[in-house]
Amino acid sequence: MMTDGLGRRISYLRISVTDRCDLRCRYCMAEKMQFLPRNEVLSLEEIALLADMFVARGIRRIRLTGGEPLVRRDIGDLVRRIGRHVGSGLDELTLTTNGTRLSDHADMLTGAGVRRINVSLDTRDPERFAHITRGGRIAQVLDGLDAARAAGLAVKINMVALKGVNDDEILPMLHWCDAQGFSLTLIETMPLGETGEDRTDHYLPLTQVAAMIDAHHALTPLPDRTGGPARYHAVDGLRARLGLITPLTRNFCADCNRIRMTCEGKIFMCLGHEDHVDFKAALRSGGVGAVEPLVDRALRLKPAAHDFRIGTDLAPATRRHMSVTGG
């Protein structure tokens, strides 16, 4: 069992398998991104070795993220390798995706032991989708969602709430998710990395959104947890469960159980801090045994809380983009 310096049990690892993505969402990335050279990225075998080590140390849930994880060549090899731990040390292997490549990979995910996925989808309007993603095609995502459902994957839609962009679609999205058999999680925009956009203009507190939904469907807090920061609610009259992730309006750090590993082998103990421990050099020079002491160092460095703030005169909380650590 891994415990940080504040006594919090760390049981959840998010692994970003690539910083690359086939979309350029305005709140997440700059239009012209400079991605890591391929020789600086861990091989899939190196990621698998580190995942093995973390499972042995007490990690019970692993989520694969990006960037967009399904753009990584031979991603199925890694999913199958980690999936072998499910039921034997690992409670769950999940994945967050933008859905554009789900049609090609849904059956592979199910076969490798993945039972549920998160799909980022901020609008179902084709023109808005193209605007938010800087050129994406909504039809690819909808086809991917159909493939995921056919493969037996449980789907949670992640929707970033953006004032003046998609706020009029939030209640319709909830109704659509209910009809599709999906759940919905709403997320406040997070000030990470320079994107060329003013996030303050589009910041929408989820306290306002929850009040709006509650006026139509009474919300009842649930004790359910899936390992992440979302707080879930039953929605009166609907089957769909509603999750709220509120990094700005309601800090959720007191019971944080997460660490994040980037595709270049850096462990970030907090999404909102730059502090990290780099595993890559130790792994490549001395193998997994050389990494073990660095895990303990990372646990000691985990901060009490993030420091997300938003405003026109405030710099992003970190220089790195969301795509580097995968949310």
Of the chain, the end-to-end C-alpha distance in Å amounts to 24
User: Is 272 annotated as contributing to ligand binding?
Assistant: no
User: Is 263 annotated as contributing to ligand binding?
Assistant: no
| Cα Dmax for the chain | 59
Contact 254, 195 (CB under 8 A): no
Tell me how far apart the alpha carbons of residues 130 and 121 are, in angstroms, rounded to a whole number: 12
User: Is 243 annotated as contributing to ligand binding?
Assistant: no
User: Is 258 annotated as contributing to ligand binding?
Assistant: yes
User: Is 262 annotated as contributing to ligand binding?
Assistant: no
User: Is 177 annotated as contributing to ligand binding?
Assistant: no
φ, ψ dihedrals at 12, nearest 5°: -130, 125
Residue reference for tokens 């953006």: 162
User: Is 29 annotated as contributing to ligand binding?
Assistant: no
DSSP for 47-100, written as a single string:
HHHHHHHHHHHT--EEEEESS-GGGSTTHHHHHHHHHTTBTTTBSEEEEEE-ST
User: Is 8 annotated as contributing to ligand binding?
Assistant: no
User: Is 253 annotated as contributing to ligand binding?
Assistant: yes
User: Is 270 annotated as contributing to ligand binding?
Assistant: yes
Q: Which residue, 315, 228, 324, 290, is CA-closest to 49?
A: 290
User: Is 72 annotated as contributing to ligand binding?
Assistant: no
User: Is 96 annotated as contributing to ligand binding?
Assistant: yes
Tell me how far apart the alpha carbons of residues 83 and 87 are, in angstroms, rounded to a whole number: 9
List the binding residues for S-adenosyl-L-methionine: 27, 67, 120, 190
List the binding residues for GTP: 14, 63, 96, 156, 258-260
List the binding residues: 14, 21, 25, 27-28, 63, 67, 96, 120, 156, 190, 253, 256, 258-260, 270
List the binding residues for [4Fe-4S] cluster: 21, 25, 28, 253, 256, 270
